[in-house]
A and B are shown apart, each in its own frame.
Chain A
């Protein structure tokens, strides 16, 4: 059962890595990709932790939640990409305006 925690910890790592990229990169496409990496981390954790059942079959509820989550993530990504293209049309670049660090 130690596999479960290895996968779950990889999920935590992906989530943190995605959060770092989300904060650091100004380009919107990178931010959208970063959010997707964070989401993948969460799904990996859900699926891994659903395997902690005593029997051979995993808990189906987290698996169903991951499927639901993937569909919502796809929808949100598509909408975000359309918004990004719109920002590019309006301002000429797909980045948030960079503000100087105070």
Chain B
């Protein structure tokens, strides 16, 4: 870009001014079209009825059989658990995509300052505790596997920023097992439910709370580790003497 573009500009300045004009015209056209789009979308939003129960009544009626009392968790892990199952698959696929680009890219690393170093040591146990609390409280109040998982992921990112790297012992099989645990437990539960005689992810109401907690615990761990692994930006090498 730095070689070809300025050369063109100095050789014939006339097309450049035309180019600028065209670009201005293009932007004006773009703004006009996008204003049209925004007006259309705004009109569509405003023409919606101001009171619509949606599916909230249906959820409230069936909340008792779901095993949890937080409607959002009930939707995520019971009524529409299939979405969540596929979503864990998407998370894993994204990580596989990142890993397929090869090993961790080389970066210049600087030694973390004393503040970051100390703070990360203080904060990480606290973040793990908060993640556990969010996981547990998700059954009856705002919280759940994804919130807990992202707090856990933040703890991992903080550790990585403070210079911590996973040891060779963890990089191989243990890391991979943790990464697929969420999806694995989910798939196993749904397969067992089909074998027992139910339909896909149709929990028996008496076991629903246990099953949801089991799936959420595995999912929290997987989500947290996956997010931290995505932050590394490549496949961590399992060096023999690393």
Contacts and interface: CB of A to CB of B under 8 A. Distances in A.
Whether A associates with B in a native complex is yes
Interface of A: 1, 4-5, 8-9, 12-13, 15-16, 19-20, 23-24, 45, 49-50, 52-55, 57-65, 67-68, 70-72, 74-76, 78-79, 81-83, 85-86, 89, 93, 95, 98, 100-101
Contacts of A72: 87, 90
Interface of B: 1, 19, 22-23, 26-27, 30-31, 34-35, 37-38, 41-42, 45-46, 48-56, 59-60, 71-72, 74-76, 80, 83-84, 87, 90-91, 93-95, 97-98, 101, 105, 144, 146, 223, 227, 230-231, 233-234
A56 to B, nearest CB: 11
A93 B227 contact: no
Contact of B53 (A45, A59, A81): A59
Given A82-B97, A85-B105, A101-B26, A61 B54 contact: yes
A19 B54 contact: no
Contacts of B223: 71
Chain B interface, DSSP helix/strand/loop, else mixed: helix
Nearest to B52: A52
Given A4-B50, A67-B76, A72-B87, A79 B56 contact: no
Contacts of A24: 27, 30
B1 A98 contact: yes
